[in-house]
Amino acid sequence: MEIKLHANATTTPRTRRYLQQSDKSDRELALELGISVTTVRRWRKREQISDNHTTPKVIHKAMRHEQVSLINALRDATGAPLDELLLLVNEGLGISVSRATLNRYLKPAASSRQGAPLQGKKALKAGHLPQRLELHHLPLSLHMDDGGEQHLLWAREPVSGWCFARLYAGISPQLLANWARELLEACPADIQSVETFGFATSLSLEGIVIKHSSAQHSAVQVAIPLGEIIPRVNEEPAGELLMRICEFYNQGKAQKKLGDSTPQAFLEALRRTL
């Protein structure tokens, strides 16, 4: 039986079986085969030698325009490549789409445009260190079943893509300050400065240089229940889902641009060496 390999596969079925049967250490196998230790460990944990299927059992041939807007916003916010975005959409949001369908609905990525900021290993080689956070406040006007007025606070470290987000029913200077402190405690990078977007009030953080952008985000109007756009919201509250998606993106899957590390591991390793 022919086994169709993923386009980005770095191992063959024969190599994978060898990894699963070998008594050598992960590092020895990685050096012997010229692959990463992460790849060795991934295949040693599996029983099969074929790639995992990324195509869900139920395929939505057409997506609601609200879903299309959401996945494009999610890709722009995280900088996630297609395969990572597919996992976020299928597993995180519960929107069942194939890789080809998702790709068809995506607009040109900001990262592919000339002058876009470098990420991962390329950013480090260019002298860009992960010492800055971008903080955003996005007002939401949701359906009455979802609580009406809500406020999305999210942050991103541009070099790794590490993200942090919370959803609140109200907003105040004290809440913003508390959220920012929680963010800095959670972020594994040595943050020296932040830039805020959509903040109506000034933010003050001890030892941190703050740049306030005058740009304000317009409130996002959502006329239908969130559950019709994000199926996973029917199983858990939107605020909890948001936190889980961030955790999944930060720690769930290694990325090639980060040297086969997750955003969390990439920043933690870098901080130990600086």
Tokens of 266: 């990439």
Q: In CATH, what is the architecture of 119-225?
A: 2-Layer Sandwich (3.30)
pLDDT tens, residue by residue, 239-253: 999 999 999 889 988
pLDDT of residue 49: 65
Residues near 161 by beta carbon (within 8 Å), at least 6 away in sequence: 78, 79, 80, 119, 249, 255, 263
The alpha-carbon radius of gyration of the chain (Å, integer) is: 20
For the chain, the domains span 1-52, 119-225
End-to-end CA distance of the chain: 50
**63, amino acid identity:** M
Least confident range from 1-10, 43-52, 101-110, 142-151: namely 1-10
112 vs 204, more confident: 204
- The average pLDDT across 129-140 equals 92
Decide: 164 and 186 in contact? Cβ < 8 Å: yes
DSSP β-ladder status, 193-197 and 163-168: unpaired
Above pLDDT 70, what percent of the chain?
Answer: 87
Burial class (CB in 10 A: 0-12, 13-18, 19+), 146: middle
CA distances from 185 to 66, 122, 130, 236, 264 (A): 33, 26, 15, 26, 13
- pLDDT, tens digit (0-9, with 9 covering 90-100), for 209-247: 988 887 777 788 888 899 999 999 898 898 999 999 999
**What is the rounded distance in angstroms from the CA atom of residue 138 to the CA atom of residue 222?**
13
Q: Are 140 and 117 in contact (CB under 8 A)?
A: no
